[in-house]
Amino acid sequence: MLDETHDGTLTSWIGSANAPEADFPVQNLPFGVFRRRAPSGAASLVQRLEAPRYDSDAASRMGEARVGVAIGDQIVDLSVAAALGVFDDAPDGDLVREAVVACEAWTLNPLMALGRAPARALRVALSRCLRIDGPDAPRARDVADRILVPMAQAELLLPVDVGDYTDFYASIHHATLVGSLFRPDNPLLPNYKWVPIGYHGRSSSIVVSGTPVRRPMGQRKGPDDSAPSVGPSRSLDYELELGVFVAGENAMGTPIPIGEADAHVFGVVIVNDWSARDVQSWEYQPLGPFLGKNFATSISPWVVTMDALIPFRVPRAARAGDDPAPLAYLDDAQDRAAGGLDITLEVSLRTAAMRSSGEEGVVISHGSSAELYWTFAQMLAHHTMNGCPMRPGDLFASGTISGATRDARGCLLEMTRRGAEPLVLPNGETRKFLEDGDEVVMTAWAERPGFQRIGLGRCGGAIVA
């Protein structure tokens, strides 16, 4: 349901939120986790790679990590704002207090555990504080220097402690094209139009945007090799995806019906499911992806709530006339009418040579989540039909988002047809797959006439040898 927060005419007293292409206008208000940057500057790339990941994250989070909301180029420190009474007169005060208590944490899991209602109430409270003539704006402006942290002075951390991670395969264009490369005679397997296909990923390798990605070692076997060899992957790829975080939970043995699934989707992030194609193609049969997929998966730092995305819901993508209708547990009038999400995504690539000559990255493909064959509600209903329990902060990714045309292919495997048709960049460089030093940046946004455009921010990472 649309409410006062979605009004396209709202502007904020924080000027940067009103820029035409701003990702974080007052209509967005995504949640994230940040810490103030150490005065000595960020750790070097080498220090970050060599630090034991678990220990450094835990230490930093327990000491300094805080839950915040993005507005323009600023972050609202929610605990400080609440302590200063900024939300005291908000409607639905009990829900707002519940949300604020959950935000006194170093992850968004406690907030996600409450379901969508407390976060929605806090969103309304924030809108009333941050919009230019909001009823609580004077109170927030009085303490602006205490509740706002410039993004330039903050480090954005992994926003969620992801317990379980499932990656789906919801783009039929991707499934058909990749299928044609791996199995020319049999591209789309017979289960595809019946079952939302997925695999269980590895949450320990989920990293926040900006984290360097080390080229993985593996057993590689190219299509023309007679035997596998061991070494760094020779066909490292990105996958352009959208991810959603689970809100609330379901008891083991109790499915989430499709009609209730939307209440269990908290919000979305951009996902880059880095993939080692030579490892993947050798290992994937018969049990599916394994080491070709679990060395790194990057996510964008700001979780854009499903409440912010209400104006951008669209009907579930139409199926071709001779496709089977979804089975009853995967079908629902609400999902048919508004189960889709109209988000545009874009991938840019910046090579080491481009960086050293001061060139910006170039956009190499784009995609739209509106074309996905399965909705996130269908994925959740399917995933829990056997009673599989979901926990707050579990991550579902869409699978590579590809469209029908070459410039809408969400990974290099598809774009270059497994290296057969290399990508030619404007500076003359070519790519079959990613080289060391390549930086991949994904961005995404939603727009619709009559509403304010909102962005998901960016999900970037550079390959190191």
Concerning whether 174 is annotated as a catalytic residue, the answer is yes
Closer residue to Mn ion, CB minimum distance, 167 or 439: 167
Closer residue to Mn ion, CB minimum distance, 98 or 239: 239
Q: Residue 239 CB, nearest distance to Mn ion (Å)? A: 4
Closer residue to Mn ion, CB minimum distance, 268 or 425: 268
One DSSP character per residue, 377-424 reads HHHHHHHHTT-PPP-TT-EEE------SSGGG-SSHHHHTTTTTS-EE
Cis before 286 (ω within 30) = yes
CA trace torsion 124, 305, 389, 319 (10° rounding): 130
Cβ neighbours for 397, distance < 8 A, ≥ 6 positions apart: 165, 166, 167, 168, 201, 241, 242, 243, 271, 273, 297
Identify the three-state secondary structure at position 104. Answer: coil
Q: Residue 271 CB, nearest distance to Mn ion (Å)? A: 8
* Exposure of 270 in the CB half-sphere (CA atoms within 13 A): 33
Q: Residue 316 CB, nearest distance to Mn ion (Å)? A: 21
Q: Which residue has the tokens 């939120």?
A: 17
Q: Which stretch binds Mn ion (CB under 5 A): 97-105, 234-242, 300-308, 453-461?
A: 234-242
Q: Which stretch binds Mn ion (CB under 5 A): 31-39, 166-174, 303-311, 418-426?
A: 166-174
* Residue at shortest CB range from Mn ion: 273
Q: Which stretch binds Mn ion (CB under 5 A): 27-35, 49-57, 160-168, 254-262?
A: 160-168
Alpha helices in 152-302 (DSSP H): 172-182, 258-261, 277-283
Q: Which stretch binds Mn ion (CB under 5 A): 24-32, 165-173, 224-232, 374-382?
A: 165-173
List the structure tokens of 205: 């390798």
d(CA 430, CA 423): 5
Closer residue to Mn ion, CB minimum distance, 164 or 273: 273
Q: Which amino acid is at 396?
A: F
Q: Residue 373 CB, nearest distance to Mn ion (Å)? A: 15
Closer residue to Mn ion, CB minimum distance, 35 or 293: 293
E-state strands within 175-264: 198-200, 206-208, 213-214, 217-220, 229-232, 236-237, 240-246
Identify the three-state secondary structure at position 6. Answer: helix
Closer residue to Mn ion, CB minimum distance, 86 or 345: 345
Instruction: Tell me which of 77, 164, 262, 273 binds Mn ion, using CB under 5 A.
Output: 273
Q: Which amino acid is at 364?
A: I
- CB of 248 closer than 8 Å to CB of 118: no
Q: Residue 400 CB, nearest distance to Mn ion (Å)? A: 5
Residue 69's nearest CA partner among 113, 19, 125 is: 125
Q: Is residue 237 part of the contact set for Mn ion (CB under 5 A)?
A: no
Q: Residue 185 CB, nearest distance to Mn ion (Å)? A: 24
Pairing of strands 395-397, 165-168: parallel
Looking at residues 88 to 117 of the shown chain, list those that interact with Mn ion (rule: CB under 5 A).
none
d(CA 18, CA 12): 7
Looking at residues 385 to 444 of the shown chain, list those that interact with Mn ion (rule: CB under 5 A).
none
Q: Which stretch binds Mn ion (CB under 5 A): 53-61, 201-209, 233-241, 277-285?
A: 233-241
Q: Residue 399 CB, nearest distance to Mn ion (Å)? A: 5
Q: Residue 213 CB, nearest distance to Mn ion (Å)? A: 15
End-to-end CA gap in the chain: 48
Closer residue to Mn ion, CB minimum distance, 12 or 209: 209
Instruction: Tell me which of 167, 283, 307, 439 binds Mn ion, using CB under 5 A.
Output: 167
Q: Which amino acid is at 251?
A: A
Instruction: Tell me which of 239, 307, 332, 335 binds Mn ion, using CB under 5 A.
Output: 239
Pattern 116-155, Mn ion, x by CB under 5 A = ----------------------------------------
Catalytic residue (choose from 173, 174, 264, 383): 174
Closer residue to Mn ion, CB minimum distance, 66 or 409: 409
Q: Which stretch binds Mn ion (CB under 5 A): 76-84, 171-179, 266-274, 297-305?
A: 266-274
d(CA 6, CA 127): 9
Count residues binding Mn ion (CB under 5 A).
3
* Residues annotated as catalytic (active site), given as ranges: 174
Q: Which residues bind Mn ion (CB under 5 A)?
A: 167, 239, 273
